[in-house]
Amino acid sequence: MLALMAIAAVGGGAAGAALYAQGDSNSGGPETTRVVDAPQLDYTSLASIASGVSPSVVSIQVGQNGGSGVVMSEDGYILTNAHVLAVATSDQVRVRFSNGDTAQATIVGADERSDIGVIHVDGVSGLTPATFGSSSEVLVGDTVLALGSPLGFDGSVTQGIVSALDRTLSPEEPDAPALSGLLQTDAAINRGNSGGALVNLAGEVIGINTAIAVENQAGGFLGVGFAVPSDRATAVAEQLIEGDEVSHPYLGVRVAPAETGGALIGEVSPGSPAEEAGLREGDILLRLGDRPITDSNDLVSAVQSAEVGQTLEVEFERDGTPQTTDVTLAEVAD
């Protein structure tokens, strides 16, 4: 079995089918076929993209562990993963920039449920902020670059594609939060890449690299990596910088995949939005709002992509009978 593991430890043109143009058969002349070469990926452009983004990607040292980060502002705010900062014994970490300079940084805040953290480097100016693109525009098959410090090798760049969208990672630890809405990529990611940039061909950061699939805890990259989408990452980071609480919607059910499709409720938490909406153990959830629910991961993603206080219609099946009800999502309790 594959284990999903967070990775904080140290350590354009897309090719397509040929185009065919059919001549006008009504013109009276002979039909002709024109063959056009498929557009090729310009690897010199990838080098230009990498060199343009590299000054915005840093290495973060936390004790004997390390990860990566992405510069958000000229005055020293840097976005990374919460799990990169989780092992810190104080609010101080060390940052190394692409030019080799180092500086002390202070932990501004971290949100475990989104795996996003922010640090601030004091007494600096003129840093090169990354350009953040909208992850809502990302498509499966888009070419991407992953930049970071895998295994301690600062300034590393790998290339791949976006393999899938809206992935949900369920942790092995029962009390750890699930991560949803993630981008999946086959760009090589290893220990130390956590908190680094996933970049599109416009040189925009569209994800923050956060986890990989491994065969065991000592394993390396198997071609399946995950990134927190930029829209979510920057929204959480800005809340942390402002000192605001990061909200997390809560339904209050434990579910498993239903044999016939959907999410089978195994437990409803007392006093939860699910209980108040009349949902019961044994109900099979099929839709939340406009999001179809085909398994338990779909439900996690649908809840986490909604907002606290939002009222959504729930479609479910009880004893073989389709039903609907409304549920108002609450803030998850710490």
- CATH 2.30.42.10 in the chain: give the residue spans: 249-331
Query: Tokens at residue 251, please?
Result: 């339904």
Q: Please identify which residue in the block is written with the tokens 């009276």.
A: 28
Predicted pLDDT of residue 11 = 38
Confidence label for 70 from pLDDT (cuts 50, 70 and 90): very high
Assess whether pLDDT exceeds 80 at residue 163.
Answer: yes
Instruction: Please check whether the domain covering 3-10+130-232 is classified as CATH 3.40.190.80.
Output: no
Candidate from 91-95, 158-162, 323-327 with smallest mean pLDDT: 91-95
User: Considering the chain, what percentage of its residues have pLDDT values greater than 70?
Assistant: 84
Q: Identify the H or E element spanning 235.
A: helix 230-242
Check if 134 is active-site. no
Predicted pLDDT of residue 91 = 82
Predicted TM-score (pTM) of the model is 0.78
Assess whether pLDDT exceeds 80 at residue 310.
Answer: yes
Predicted pLDDT of residue 305 = 82
End-to-end CA distance of the chain: 31
Contact status, residue 97 vs residue 78, Cβ threshold 8 Å: no
Candidate from 73-82, 169-178, 237-246, 288-297 with smallest mean pLDDT: 169-178
Residue of 59, 68, 83, 114 marked catalytic: 83
pLDDT tens readout for residues 20-46: 333 333 444 455 556 656 555 666 689
Assess whether pLDDT exceeds 80 at residue 246.
Answer: yes
Residues 257-283 have a mean pLDDT of: 93
Assess whether pLDDT exceeds 50 at residue 13.
Answer: no
Averaged pLDDT of the chain: 85
Residue of 68, 111, 115, 283 marked catalytic: 115
Neighbours of 186 (CB within 10 A): 19
Check if 83 is active-site. yes
pLDDT tens readout for residues 103-158: 999 999 999 989 999 999 988 888 999 999 999 899 999 999 999 999 989 999 99
Predicted pLDDT of residue 173 = 67
Superfamily of domain 249-331: PDZ domain (2.30.42.10)
Predicted pLDDT of residue 174 = 61
Check if 101 is active-site. no
Per DSSP, the residues of 152-208 read: G-TTEEEEEEEEEEEEEE--SSTTSPPEEEEEEE-S---TT-TT-EEE-TTS-EEEE
Predicted pLDDT of residue 38 = 59
Residue of 149, 194, 296, 301 marked catalytic: 194
3-state SS record for 30-44: CCCEEEECCCCCCHH
Superfamily of domain 50-121: Trypsin-like serine proteases (2.40.10.10)
Predicted pLDDT of residue 286 = 96
Assess whether pLDDT exceeds 50 at residue 266.
Answer: yes
Assess whether pLDDT exceeds 50 at residue 257.
Answer: yes
Residues 172-180 have a mean pLDDT of: 74
- Looking at per-residue confidence, does 68 or 15 come out higher? 68
Contact status, residue 266 vs residue 258, Cβ threshold 8 Å: no
- CATH 2.40.10.10 in the chain: give the residue spans: 3-10+130-232, 50-121
